[in-house]
Amino acid sequence: MADTTGNTAAPQVGETDSGPRKSSWRYIGPGIVVAATGVGAGDLVATLIAGSNFGYTLLWAAIIGCLVKISLAEAAGRWHLSTGRTLFDGWASLGRWTTWFFVVYAVIWGFVYGAAAMSSSALPLQALFPDVMDLEWWAIACGLVGLAFVWFNKYEVFEKVMTVLVGVMFVVTVYLAIRVTPNLPDAFAGLLPVLPDEKDSILNTLGLIGGVGGTITLAAYGYWVNAKGWTNTGWMKVMRLDNRVAYATTGIFVVAMLFVGAELLHSANIAIASGDKGLIQLGDILADEYGTATAKFFLIGFFATSFTSLIGVWHGVSLMFADFVARYRTRRELKGEEVASGARERSWPFRAYLLWLTFPPIVLLFQGQPFRLIILYGVLGAAFLPFLAGTLIWLLNSSRTPREWRNGPVSNVMLAIAGLLFLVLCVKQVWDQPWSEFF
């Protein structure tokens, strides 16, 4: 077989060989990408704060969060492989409302996320090199480097760089978890599903479950599967192993940070800020407890975590946007083989969305984030995962999917749980917005 990406023995575009391939570790790739992209600095801070507030009590919730996301990513990958069509093509078959939702989401979310991702990547760099330049200029530099990297490289190089950065994240988070000397009996006790005895403990627990590892990147997983060269059902077992590796990796990241929160912060009754700046505070605490070298090592891991999310979104969501434009212009079915060929990565819509993620958000770095736009960003972001879970249930239980690959009872239950979970979180997010100040 010819290799379309340089990574796997995938059939050339247009080949129909769909014989099953043995699941093998040597094929792993898209799962590493989705794990790296999905776990951003915000996820690590949320888990860190959960450990700080509740100790090991919510360890079980972090693990369930990984299981929920496995079901969503597996469903997205199964759609791509079983139908040969892309996820956006499936959405378009459900009605024009899906197109409008995606377009509004991609435009507003991308504008605000671009600034957030650049700032998140800049924070550890400024902490490591405080006298070089201001935070805003570090952020612009990160955005431009991400733009150039994704613009000039295809999936093969992108995946390799992401794998290296995931290795850095893995070493740093596991080292920190070992360094703080976790209380293993308490950690095992945290596997029991117990709620903290505090106000809003249910919503806090649901928030931790829902925040583990990715939003729109779960939908992008199917596109990375195709970009790898996997385009038919012969790769189904490989994809499922790859997806499990993705969320096992995610689980290690979040459990390690929960250990750090439980041992370093909870035991000393230290509170940190939410958001990316909480990790800068953690760096200062690590410097006091374990020395400057450990703090700098942590900041390197912080940068790897943030920058993988940046280039992952720059690549994955741009692929999805290019797919949307292709469907809008041609009105024909969109095949995964087109993604596998690399044509999407060279298209003008792909590069136009890259520019949208990079340059307009620079304005927000200097002027602050506009109030109304932030509210819309929060609501649309909260609505995306219920949208994804609901549409996957619809697509994978209908005649659009070959009967052999439709949802079974377990998949339907997991996707329904995911949909209900994210719907509750969406309603809470909408409820909590200051709408009286919006109008």
- 3-class secondary structure per residue, the chain: CCCCCCCCCCCCCCCCCCCCCCCCHHHCCHHHHHHHHHCCHHHHHHHHHHHHHHCCCCHHHHHHHHHHHHHHHHHHHHHHHHHCECHHHHHHHCCHHHHHHHHHHHHHHHHHHHHHHHHHHHHHHHHHCCCCCCHHHHHHHHHHHHHHHHHHCCHHHHHHHHHHHHHHHHHHHHHHHHHCCCCHHHHHHCCCCCCCCCCCHHHHHHHHHHCCCCCHHHHHHHHHHHHCCCCCHHHHHHHHHHHHHHHHHHHHHHHHHHHHHHHHHHCCCCCCCCCCHHHHHHHHHHHHHHCHHHHHHHHHHHHHHHHHHHHHHHHHHHHHHHHHHHHHHHCCCCEHHHHHCCCHHHCHHHHHHHHHHHCCHHHHHHHCCCHHHHHHHHHHHHHHHHHHHHHHHHHHCCCCCCHHHCCCHHHHHHHHHHHHHHHHHHHHHHHHCCHHHHC
The pLDDT value given to residue 144: 98
Query: CA 83, 402, 38 angle in degrees (round to 5)?
Result: 50
The pLDDT value given to residue 12: 41
The pLDDT value given to residue 9: 43
Q: Which two tokens stand for residue 403?
A: 């009967």
**What separation in angstroms does the CA of 367 have from each of 125, 242, 247, 363, 371?**
21, 41, 37, 6, 12
| Averaged pLDDT in 10-residue chunks for the chain of 439 residues | 40 48 77 87 81 88 86 95 95 94 92 91 92 93 98 96 94 93 89 80 75 77 96 94 89 89 82 75 90 94 94 96 91 87 94 97 83 76 90 96 95 92 86 78
CB within 8 Å of 410: residues ≥ 6 apart: none
The pLDDT value given to residue 10: 43
